[in-house]
Structure 1
Amino acid sequence: MPTATNAQIEQIFREHYGRAVAVLTRSFGSIDAAEEAVQDAFSTALERWPATGLPPSPAGWIITTARNRAIDRARREASRADRHLAATLLDTPDVESQEHAVRDDHLRLIFTCCHPALATSAQIALTLRLLGGLTTAEIARAFLVPEATMAQRIVRAKGKIRDAGIPYRIPPEDQLPLRLRAVRATLYLIFNEGHSASETSQLIRTELCDEAIRLARLLALLMPDDAESWGLLALLLLIDARRASRVGADGCLVILSEQDRSLWDRVKIAEGQTIVRECLEANQPGPYQIQAAINAVHSDALFTGAIDWPQILVLYNQLITFEPTPVVALNRAVAVAEVEGPGAALILVDELQLGEYRMFHAIRADLLRRLDRRSEAVAAYEAAIALTKTDAERAFLQRRAAEVK
């Protein structure tokens, strides 16, 4: 029997942690109990699988083992409440027989984590931890805050859910709008961590991209009249359509302008563009719809051979009215560089306070390179390299820095 490596088990953890926690939260009625049980199960997997090999259904094994461990633990406890928990779990049908009944568990857990009683930043961080299986360090990097700060935020959020008795369910229809903004932001951040991983050697974490798209589709189906939810789905599809072209054969990042467009996923592009057109007809503009429209223009280059940068700049001008943030301003500057030149863009970039953001330095380096300010470009590339965690992106930046030295 083939053995399982620690790397394989870690990958399974990444792919199935969120689903296991969601399924067991429904059974246990407690996020903390579910997390503890799933972590116990993965510890057991690390002990057994290297010798026994992977089971036929690793996700089912983890969930079933976690449930059984929770039953054993509850039986050992003396309190009536714990004995009641054990009895409840024994009456719960086996996980494998519930496969078709649990597909919305992730979505239920997201809405639980995004309760209005929690601060928006806590809602998003907690959901990334529970649903995406991201480490505290990865979430902290996504929020540009220290790891200790993020750890405290997650602990407080879980405590508030427990102490307030926040139910594990999709809220009634009249309460949905209160949570949709945080839910969408959560899915977007999960996708971004998959699209450009912050703490792993690989650039793309496909399981996170796929999970974010799956949940975005469920959300859009749940809220069929919410144009922003559909806009989010379109945005993720159009970005993910370029997945296969983003890393070259040498393992180096390939930027958009240099990608092999024949590798772009035409099916995802077609679906994303169709959704964008339907959103335009709904005439309820929002930031996700505008970002989707920007990426729809980029995807038009698959057919026209050229990117319509003036149209993209118009869309960024609309986006910044919805989200006047430094990151949006930085991305807008990229369009300004194509329309008005790198000098005009650099003036805008130098006004931004994003010194801890790797893309700030990477974009600034590219503008300086195009202006033939070589020594400044090298320094900016080196600043970006110092903040970069993925091998593919680091290799790209090092190559560009070597070209201008």
Structure 2
Amino acid sequence: MSEHLGDLLRESAPQVLGVLLRRYGGFEECEDAVQEALLVAATGWPAEGVPENPRSWLVTVASRRLIDRIRSERARRRREVTAAIREAPDAGLIPAPGDEGPGDRDDTLALLFMCCHPALTPASQVALTLRAVGGLTTAEVARAFLVPEATMAPRISRAKRRIRAAGASFEMPGAQEWAGRLDSVLHVLYLIFNEGYTASSGPDLHRCELTTEAIRLTRTLHRSLPDDGEVAGLLSLMLLTDARRATRTGPDGALVPLAEQDRSRWDTAMVEEGTTLVTGAMSVSSLGPYQLQAAIAALHVQAPRAEETDWEQIRVLYGILARIAPNPMVTLNHAVAVAMTRGPRAGLGLLEGMDDDPRIARHHRLHAVRAHLQELAGEYTAARENYLLAARCTTSLPEQRHLRNRAGRLGAPPPGPVSWTMPGGARRTG
């Protein structure tokens, strides 16, 4: 199957599933029918050609498969309990005259909300979103979670059953629960992107299939909700971050820090699109955490050189983000910005007490940031210990190598007073 055909089927899958769910209900049954239709297309279209309206073709085939299955099941039940159960009429199974055609409506947004139902855990929401909306196979979702397919298949099945048990219907949430459900959708897309951009474990720093899918799904969401500032902010954040992907690793796969990346190789089209998105969103929408993170990312990529980064503006933005959406990762990033503007010891002060926070105490990022600030402050022995501790706490092989290399460079502290560079190139001692 060609790459173009694969992309077409993957993009069509959630739309076709949405149509079937809206018409017939029954998540598992509808998804099975869609998968059968996709299989027929994947085997038949290369020889017969792609239909003029691929989505309509897929909806028709999937609907026939689903109706045949329902009728077969009903026939079986009639044979078993003819006297007890009457056959339900087929009228509800077949689109009524005048019903909108299969290609007239995109139900991807409703499907996203369904997959992010509050009855599911965040991990189940991510898995089901990748499976049903992203169009990934169960094997591909399993690879995303780094578990065997035999482990992932029951997990996805349990998520579907939990949605059914919760009485979830294929419709958009009401006004009272809209904000919370949209927050869940955005969070799931954010998690998918983050896992792809910096894989939590394994030999590779990137999982490009996940970042690509997260951006595609967020674009779909943005098309459906073009006036939502946080949706635009999340898409902007993804684009501005992914624009640097090609420069984040060296030829040997080693991690390259932001300050050392070749900025001439950043994707300028993604930078321009992301900057335009966040600028427009912040000018017309209430300020939200994804817009703030995108604005910070824009400041990083707009600096011609690392030394010209507007750290003071970044510090201010992180201060606002820490007030409206406090979490340990925001605190870590805020500490770095404070260190770059007020000195490393001021940044280290923000980290005090974080060892008592169970959300971050065992995370390698806490030890890595502390080590970096200690290095800037001239506390080389402590910095080396924390770099090594961070390396032990992460299961990402590129990050392990990077952190150990940083520790190795501190084996022999340089003589003389410690100095660090402030934004603009000025140097301070301390």
Whether the TM-score (by the shorter chain) exceeds 0.5 is yes
Q: CA contact under 8 A between 1:365 and 1:381: conserved in structure 2? A: yes
One-letter amino acid matched to 2:370: R
Q: Name the SS for the 2:382 alignment partner.
A: helix
| 1:287, distance to aligned residue in structure 2 (A) | 0.6
The answer to whether residue 394 in structure 2 is matched with residue 388 in structure 1 is yes
* Superposition pairs of residues 282-321 of structure 1, within 5 angstroms: 282-302=284-304, 306-321=308-323
CA spacing shift, 1:191–1:374, aligned 2, 3 Å: same
One-letter amino acid matched to 1:255: P
CA distance in 1, matches of 2:305, 2:373: 28
CA distance in 2, matches of 1:338, 1:288: 23
One-letter amino acid matched to 1:401: A
Q: CA contact under 8 A between 1:252 and 1:391: conserved in structure 2? A: no
CA spacing shift, 1:392–1:71, aligned 2, 3 Å: farther
Bigger drift between 28-37 and 321-330 goes to 28-37
CA spacing shift, 1:34–1:199, aligned 2, 3 Å: farther
One-letter amino acid matched to 2:236: A
Q: Deviations over 1:286-332 (max 9, x none)?
A: 11111111111111113796101011000001001111111111111
CA distance in 1, matches of 2:143, 2:328: 22
CA spacing shift, 1:152–1:322, aligned 2, 3 Å: farther
| 1:125, distance to aligned residue in structure 2 (A) | 4.2
One-letter amino acid matched to 2:340: E
CA spacing shift, 1:106–1:204, aligned 2, 3 Å: farther
| 1:199, distance to aligned residue in structure 2 (A) | 3.2
| Residue from 219, 225, 228 that aligns with 1:226 | 228
CA distance in 1, matches of 2:154, 2:18: 22
The answer to whether residue 380 in structure 2 is matched with residue 374 in structure 1 is yes
CA distance in 1, matches of 2:269, 2:69: 48
Q: CA contact under 8 A between 1:342 and 1:370: conserved in structure 2? A: yes
Q: CA contact under 8 A between 2:128 and 2:156: conserved in structure 1? A: no
The answer to whether residue 357 in structure 2 is matched with residue 351 in structure 1 is no
CA distance in 1, matches of 2:154, 2:342: 45
Looking at CA atoms only, which structure, 1 or 2, has the larger radius of gyration?
2
TM-score (norm 2): 0.68
CA spacing shift, 1:72–1:360, aligned 2, 3 Å: farther
Q: CA contact under 8 A between 2:259 and 2:306: conserved in structure 1? A: no
The answer to whether residue 270 in structure 2 is matched with residue 268 in structure 1 is yes
Identical counterparts, % of pairs: 41
* Superposition pairs of residues 105-254 of structure 1, within 5 angstroms: 106-115=108-117, 118=119, 121=122, 124-125=125-126, 127-128=128-129, 130=131, 131=133, 157-171=159-173, 176-254=178-256
TM-score (norm 1): 0.72
One-letter amino acid matched to 2:301: S
| 1:40, distance to aligned residue in structure 2 (A) | 11
Bigger drift between 152-161 and 262-271 goes to 152-161
One-letter amino acid matched to 1:366: H
| 1:107, distance to aligned residue in structure 2 (A) | 3.5
CA distance in 2, matches of 1:397, 1:69: 54
| 1:79, distance to aligned residue in structure 2 (A) | 4.1
The answer to whether residue 333 in structure 2 is matched with residue 331 in structure 1 is yes
The answer to whether residue 408 in structure 2 is matched with residue 399 in structure 1 is no
| 1:334, distance to aligned residue in structure 2 (A) | 1.1
Q: Name the SS for the 2:394 alignment partner.
A: coil
| 1:368, distance to aligned residue in structure 2 (A) | 2.4
CA distance in 2, matches of 1:256, 1:122: 29
Number of positions where the alignment pairs a residue of Structure 1 with one of Structure 2: 369
CA spacing shift, 1:223–1:346, aligned 2, 3 Å: same
CA distance in 1, matches of 2:295, 2:324: 14
Q: CA contact under 8 A between 1:110 and 1:127: conserved in structure 2? A: no
| 1:152, distance to aligned residue in structure 2 (A) | 11
In structure 1, runs of 5+ residues without a counterpart are 3-11, 45-54, 92-97, 142-147
CA distance in 1, matches of 2:315, 2:36: 50
Bigger drift between 30-39 and 297-306 goes to 30-39
| 1:178, distance to aligned residue in structure 2 (A) | 4.4
CA distance in 1, matches of 2:93, 2:156: 27
Bigger drift between 126-135 and 174-183 goes to 126-135
Q: CA contact under 8 A between 2:204 and 2:253: conserved in structure 1? A: no
| 1:122, distance to aligned residue in structure 2 (A) | 6.7
